[in-house]
Structure 1
């Protein structure tokens, strides 16, 4: 079978930042929809995929912040601000646990074929910079069916500003506590203050150990009435609250949430690292608990450098000259990461008999 997800909405997606594109590759078989006697997946067939965030903006700065105790990553040391290389040509987010890191090989192969990468001689040879992070989704499909280099190549070749969210790409095998997870996105254009005119966006693969739904309210954590109304959500019935509580007892313990938070602001490498750090604040708002010893929570940061504030804010000598802009960008980064995780859960489709939030709490939807 195939899964197409829901289209990400213009004005509320990471690709609202020029120079960012998203591509997916996945495979889902009908057999992967069968659950075992325990009610959890009894892996048969394919149920996994890869998502690639393609960075085509010239001179983009990349960084990463890893806070989970069980990360599966590639090329993250390279992105330390004290090191020489400060960019990335693509970020790979994949299922398949550590096996899924092989998808990055295919992304490198495809980019090299297009001449994309660090030019290291005068004969056209390049080395694409392709950091990666993975989620643990092996029990959802068959254990030995996981993304390889071909998944990565297909995903980067399909990268576009128009893309889907939900159970697509790396979100196919994702679980959010006891519920179905997936891929989600969000963005905000800052209209006022020192960062006016700057856009911040996020794309997240929600696959956490922790809960994405507050058991007391049956709603996503820490969303105000206006935000809930905008999502078409309301407090679910007592029967649905009981159903959510029963499902919570079946949550898994080997998961991870990974993603990319990006901006078109001009940021240097240390401040792009701070952007990635701020993304974890949003992760912590959307998931309880977050950053556990069993999670591999990883957030990449990208600054494309296309927009510089029209009126610089004076700063005291000895302070970073862009601190006022960075503070506002980081505030918004936490918001869009939180919203992207909620988007992933709301857009999810049932796979491997893992219930979606809509199935578990239908009365929450207006």
Structure 2
């Protein structure tokens, strides 16, 4: 167990207990957010010169899994918000100083989807728009978001940037998050009206997504040379695997003394025992496959070797299939959990809801990823959107 996970694991019972409260609040409780902050979870991929830990991505993934198994929403926020310091490393140093200079524990929310338009003006851009699904946003002092660059008439162009905004430049719509699962993530909408974004707080999205962020920023650490298409989905899928592990743990605890309506103790029912064993194996396979990809990509990157498009496409296929495999396994045990699992006073139903909502994230859509990986292995060359996020 890594040091950060050890730091947070001592509060596992409290985080589990506060998951129900976060579900009602539709955001993390203040104390759960403070525990993440104090444990250093969000600084794991942050550069050392700004108080970060520069951890191996595997340790980050294992930490997020561990937190997700305690409470799904807390794990999700750790995984999503925890990736943003990695990208901030590629921005102008002035922007890093603004965010981390006085507070290395400053958090940034997202999303990257270009839901707004930034119109060029002297010294920067004027930004307008509304963004959805900003996980953990109530506990963040900044956002790192996608925006389309506008022309002189304010119309969207094909150029996409990632931009940084302080909390004073946007308004959170507190009524915009009322969902069936991952309620505690507080993934609310926020609105930006005529905010000025200085040029040093912007970064062309292609620089990051192409894997050239480290060159742009003049960095040579293995962590920052690591492929974007592996590290960006890592926090999200790791939290989902952790959620699945948490669901399985809840199920196992509840079944030890359970007797089915047939009068047969669950521990004597070979059919249920088979389902448990199969689900446990599938969830473990999801964990192992995603961590193996991280280790393999790290080893190549550390040796100065390029991780090819084909390898990245296969890595994304592994990551997406891991998510689906883990959630299908949760369904298998949940369907055999009995009526008691439906009670809101028990956490298993929350893990089940969180797992299904987590699976809907765009990073888990298999279509183009599976097609692109297969086409590449057959000697083809995916084009356009079929290369996106690979």
TM band (smaller chain) = under 0.3
TM-score for the superposition, normalised by structure 2: 0.25
More strand by share: 1
More helix by share: 2
Structure possessing the higher radius of gyration over alpha carbons: 2
TM-score for the superposition, normalised by structure 1: 0.26
**Higher RCO (CA-CA < 8 Å; seq separation 6+):** 1
